[in-house]
Amino acid sequence: MFNLWQIDRKVKELPQITIKGKLTSDKAKEVLGDSNDVLVKDIYTGNKSVKIQAIGIDGLIDSDVIDNYVLRPFTNIALNKTEKDLYEMCKNGVIYHISQKEIKDINEAVENILQGNTVVFFDHLEKAVSFDAKNLPARSITEPENESVLKGAKDAFIESIRVNTGLVRKKLKTPMLRLESFTVGKEAVTKLNIVYIEGVTDEDLLNKVREKIKNIDMNDLISAGKFEICMKDYKYSLFPQLLFTERVEKFCANICDGKVGVLIDGLPIAYLLPGVFSTYFQAPEDYSQNYVLSSGIRLLRYICFIITLVLPALYIAITMFHHEMMPTDLAISIIESKEGVPFDTAVEIVIMLVAFELLLEASLRLPKTIGSTISIIGGLIVGEAAVNAKFISPAVVVIIAFTGITGFVIPNQEMSNALRVCRIFLVICASLAGMFGISFGLLFILYYLCSIEVLGVPYMVPFVANGGKNMLKDTIIRLPRDLFGGKDD
């Protein structure tokens, strides 16, 4: 009898399945078992003297295409044909289907069937041909749910990789666009494509992405987190190293800038490599508005980044260690607001930060219809009651609320999540040593950020590369494009 831990270890150690046997329909049926969705069709031709078999998965194949363009031509072939003749005619174009290929072994045959292809077996010859006539279940193309669109295209990626590649081709009508296919996973085989523009994307970067994908060694790649772990150079880093997006427009714009894109079958998002620090503060709307407004908003994001990171720790340092930094009126106001509160400032801040995280997590996990209700109850009713009961001072509530609002200004949620952890770290530093602790904490974070490389690219580029020459091009602010060889939109 195994416990859950032992079962989990056993699953993780499963070897890759290798099927041994002849390339025949009987062997394929043996491997696929008695599943009721496995469709097997016997095809008789040559005055019923020759039998071939077609195998596919119900729900994954387009029955109309298979019936009319694969099965029907076999039944119309002349009566005096042998199985070898049928196979040669099938290879040379009697079956009018644009996507067909010869199968080399039984492993490839089973893999094609599970991917939604229909495989026709010629048992006596031990040969087979695969026809790509998929009809995979997929939802329709809709607007992005997690990335709002103010001015731009509203199409978003879905779970079908072939639909996603079609969306990319629709946007980037260039013959230099390249898509390379990879298959990863041992048990749950998953297809993924890397997308790039030849001549624009750096070849060294491309080779590093290929190498990392080829080195992925796991049973399945169903969840996004598993792919991210495999692609990260710093696996234990809090800061994101892959930029993901639902928006086709954003994906294509980054491909044109020289990044490498990754599309994974089954995931409604696309990844962009490398993900450096400055890219997490950019949004597609920056390029659809006037450059003055876009520059102001982007500069505001960096200011909010500093505020949400430092404000709680700074409040602790000033109120507990450096009272002389406060104006007299402000100091008196804070002292009056803390009257009757049993906790010191550091404990108040920690309690409110934990409460804020609980509210945020609850609103994310609950259904949308009641998620906003939890925010109202937690933010207004419970917060007001805590202040009136003298558990928390009003000043701390204001500080945490302002910290949370400024954190939501950052466009990328993963970067915002990393800042939430760093915020706690700085609070601890400030509680121990005031402004000196904050200085130490900030220097430590800055040193760590400067030490990270993503696929050989410094994480803090362009702040730490080329002497900062490109800092004003498209980083903290966005200047008109005609200053750099183009025209502003």
Distance between CA atoms of 348 and 396, rounded to whole angstroms? Answer: 7
Report pLDDT digits (tens) over 299-320.
999 999 999 999 999 999 999 8
d(CA 123, CA 153) in angstroms, rounded, equals 51
Of 469, 354, 339, residue with least CA distance to 400:
354
Task: Using only the alpha carbons of the chain, give its radius of gyration.
Answer: 30
Q: How far, in Å, are 141, 241, 286, 442 from residue 283 at the CA level?
A: 21, 17, 6, 26
Q: Are 144 and 284 in contact (CB under 8 A)?
A: no
Q: Look up residue 66 and give its DSSP letter.
A: H
Distance (Å, rounded) from C-alpha 343 to C-alpha 185?
52
Model confidence pLDDT, tens digit, residues 395-443:
888 898 899 889 989 988 889 999 999 999 999 999 999 999 999 999 9
> In the chain, helix, strand, coil percent, each to 5?
50, 15, 35
DSSP characters over 251-312: HHHHHHTTPEEEEETT-S-EEEE---GGGGG--GGGGSS-HHHHHHHHHHHHHHHHHHHHHH
Cβ within 8 Å of residue 60, ≥6 positions away: 115, 116, 134, 135, 136
Residue 252's pLDDT is what?
A: 92
Mean pLDDT of 102-110: 88
In eight-state DSSP terms, residue 98 is: S
CA distances from 122 to 37, 103, 111, 167, 383 (A): 22, 11, 17, 37, 73
- CA dihedral defined by 223, 229, 230, 232, rounded to 10 degrees? 140
Residue 486's pLDDT band (cuts 50, 70, 90): very low
Alpha helices in 63-133 (DSSP H): 63-66, 72-75, 83-91, 106-114
Q: What are phi and psi of 75, to 5 degrees?
A: -75, -15
Please give the pLDDT value at position 311. 94
* Whole-prediction pTM: 0.79
How far is 302 from 471, CA to CA, in rounded Å?
13
* pLDDT digit string, tens, across residues 191-250: 899 999 998 999 999 999 999 998 888 777 777 888 888 888 888 888 999 999 999 999
